[in-house]
């Protein structure tokens, strides 16, 4: 069987969903709308699909290849404008099936032109998909589907219907009311209240935030009921984790190369330090947290950092240069904390410590704070998290290097 699959152009109802991808590639619980449509055609016995793509056909072609993921033949054909079913058949020849991603069965209106219809169509497709394939989803309660790869705190309130995608994180005391969709690698922080809302992939929803009838995608917020759209510039309320990670990666390569160069040029230092230290305690290690932008310790990764026991002051941190090379830490940030120390951060002000990457040098070093985790250090860490800038980073780096040279 041969089928024609008509992909929609970029429509206003999609809001911020289509900034980095066409509508056809919008993910739904880890799978794009195009993937779900082709999979449905395969179940119906279709062996050849011609995809008519208007919006960024190169990305559509990269996602489909020649049909290898489905074991059928897929061809992507660029189009200048959306075609009707009749026009598509007239232009591309006969086909047993013609499917359009933009059409809701039984309704004449285009779903992509109406935000409310758009949200309802997504819910309909998710309902159909979870009913057809539950291999990666488990029904933890009637109408509540959670991916086997998701992490949901037992204290979270989930009301049916509700869907949580792979690698999503939902913190304690969060409330996901009926109609909520949490996409892949999204972070829903403590105390969030969401109702009839769609939280996009790699989107962070901050603590105590309320979402109602909304599509939260990155830092864009679309109210699907009235069609209003706004940008949220406070990353403690709503953040695009993909953008934050990409910016950090671009900014970090130069720093990682610099750390590698310093390691090579100062390699005799660890030899001298080991000679000065007692045997068995030359490179003491500790496990520290690498918290994401959520600032919540339970969402953190961990890594091991070491010290040079034969030195005092900032020179003891020489082994942490390797953590910078690995990409675990950066030159300037807040000092890495152990899980036990992070658990002692009692309020939102103190938890600002974890809102920025772990760094080799910190603002507390500039002010000669007596200890790395005393009250003064917590104040400096929170201040740096709130006022971080390139100028401040340069000031910290300059002062830290001066201290090392004096020592």
Q: Tell me, yes or no, whether 99 and 138 share the same domain.
A: no
Q: For residue 192, how far is the Cα from the chain centroid?
A: 17
Q: Tell me, yes or no, whether 140 and 89 share the same domain.
A: no
- Among 94-98, 302-306, 366-370, the minimum mean pLDDT is found in 366-370
The predicted model scores a pTM of: 0.59
Q: Tell me, yes or no, whether 370 and 329 share the same domain.
A: yes
Q: Judge whether 250 lies within some domain.
A: no
Q: Judge whether 117 lies within some domain.
A: no
| b/e sequence 259-287, b meaning 16+ C-beta within 10 Å | beebbeeeeebbeebeeebeeeebeeeee
| Model pLDDT, residue 289 | 77
CA 137-69-19 angle, 5° bins:
75
Q: Judge whether 360 lies within some domain.
A: yes
How many domains does the structure of the chain reveal? 3
Tens-place pLDDT, residues 46-91: 899 999 988 888 888 888 988 888 889 999 999 888 788 888 888 8
Average pLDDT of the chain is 81
Tens-place pLDDT, residues 168-204: 889 888 999 999 999 988 999 888 999 999 998 889 8
Distance (Å, whole) CA 61 – CA 38:
13
The yes-or-no verdict on residue 30 having pLDDT over 60 is yes
Where among 107, 123, 145 does a domain terminate?
107
Q: Tell me, yes or no, whether 102 and 174 share the same domain.
A: no
Q: Tell me, yes or no, whether 402 and 273 share the same domain.
A: yes
Where among 223, 239, 255 does a domain terminate?
239
Domain extent, residue 226, equals 134-239
The yes-or-no verdict on residue 371 having pLDDT over 80 is no
Q: Tell me, yes or no, whether 235 and 270 share the same domain.
A: no
Task: Tell me whether residue 288 is exposed, middle or buried, using C-beta atoms within 10 angstroms of its C-beta: 0 to 12, 13 to 18, 19 or more.
Answer: buried
Distance (Å, whole) CA 124 – CA 120:
6
Q: Tell me, yes or no, whether 292 and 402 share the same domain.
A: yes
Q: Judge whether 248 lies within some domain.
A: no
Q: Tell me, yes or no, whether 94 and 152 share the same domain.
A: no
| Model pLDDT, residue 113 | 63
Q: Tell me, yes or no, whether 276 and 391 share the same domain.
A: yes
| Model pLDDT, residue 1 | 77
12 compared with 137, residue with greater pLDDT: 137
Nearest to 347 by CA among 208, 167, 221, 185: 208
Q: Judge whether 114 lies within some domain.
A: no
Q: Judge whether 75 lies within some domain.
A: yes
The yes-or-no verdict on residue 231 having pLDDT over 80 is yes
Q: Tell me, yes or no, whether 318 and 216 share the same domain.
A: no
Q: Judge whether 222 lies within some domain.
A: yes
Grade residue 214 by pLDDT with cuts at 50, 70 and 90: very high
Cβ(18)–Cβ(111) below 8 Å:
no
Rounded average pLDDT over 275-281: 64
- Among 28-32, 346-350, 389-393, the minimum mean pLDDT is found in 346-350
Q: Are strands 27-28 and 31-32 parallel, antiparallel or unpaired?
A: antiparallel
């Amino acid at each position: 069987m041969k089928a024609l699959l008509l992909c929609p152009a970029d429509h206003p109802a999609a809001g911020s969903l289509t900034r980095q991808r066409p509508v056809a590639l919008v993910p739904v619980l880890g799978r794009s709308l195009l993937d779900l449509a082709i999979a449905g055609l395969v179940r119906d016995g279709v062996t050849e699909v011609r995809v008519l793509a208007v919006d960024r056909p190169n990305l559509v072609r990269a996602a489909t290849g020649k049909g290898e993921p489905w074991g059928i033949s897929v061809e992507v054909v660029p189009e200048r404008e959306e075609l009707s079913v009749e026009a598509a058949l007239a232009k591309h020849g006969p086909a047993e099936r013609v499917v359009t991603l933009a059409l809701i069965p039984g309704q004449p209106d285009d779903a992509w032109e109406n935000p409310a219809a758009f949200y309802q169509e997504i819910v309909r497709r998710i309902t159909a998909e979870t009913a057809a394939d539950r291999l990666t989803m488990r029904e933890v309660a009637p109408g509540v589907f959670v991916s086997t790869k998701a992490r949901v705190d037992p204290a979270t309130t989930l009301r049916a219907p509700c869907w949580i995608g792979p690698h999503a994180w939902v913190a304690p005391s969060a409330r996901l009311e009926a109609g909520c969709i949490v996409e892949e690698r999204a972070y829903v922080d403590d105390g969030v209240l969401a109702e009839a809302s769609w939280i996009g992939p790699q989107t962070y929803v901050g603590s105590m935030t309320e979402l109602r009838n909304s599509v939260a995608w990155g830092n864009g917020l679309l109210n699907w009921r009235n069609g209003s759209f706004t940008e949220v510039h406070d990353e403690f309320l709503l953040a695009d984790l993909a953008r934050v990670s990409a910016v950090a990666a671009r900014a970090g390569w130069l720093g990682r190369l610099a750390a590698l160069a310093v390691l090579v040029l100062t390699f005799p230092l660890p030899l001298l330090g080991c000679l000065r230290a007692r045997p068995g305690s030359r490179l003491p290690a500790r496990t520290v947290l690498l918290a994401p932008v959520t600032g919540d310790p339970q969402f953190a990764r961990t890594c091991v950092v070491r010290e040079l026991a034969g030195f005092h002051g900032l020179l003891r941190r020489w082994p942490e240069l390797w953590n910078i090379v690995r990409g675990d830490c950066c030159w300037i940030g807040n000092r890495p904390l152990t899980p036990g120390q992070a658990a002692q951060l009692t309020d939102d002000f103190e938890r600002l410590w974890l809102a920025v990457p772990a760094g080799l040098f910190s603002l507390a070093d500039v002010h000669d704070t007596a200890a790395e985790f005393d009250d003064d250090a917590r104040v400096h860490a929170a201040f740096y998290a709130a006022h971080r800038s390139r100028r401040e980073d340069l000031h910290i780096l300059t002062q830290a290097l001066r201290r090392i040279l004096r020592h």
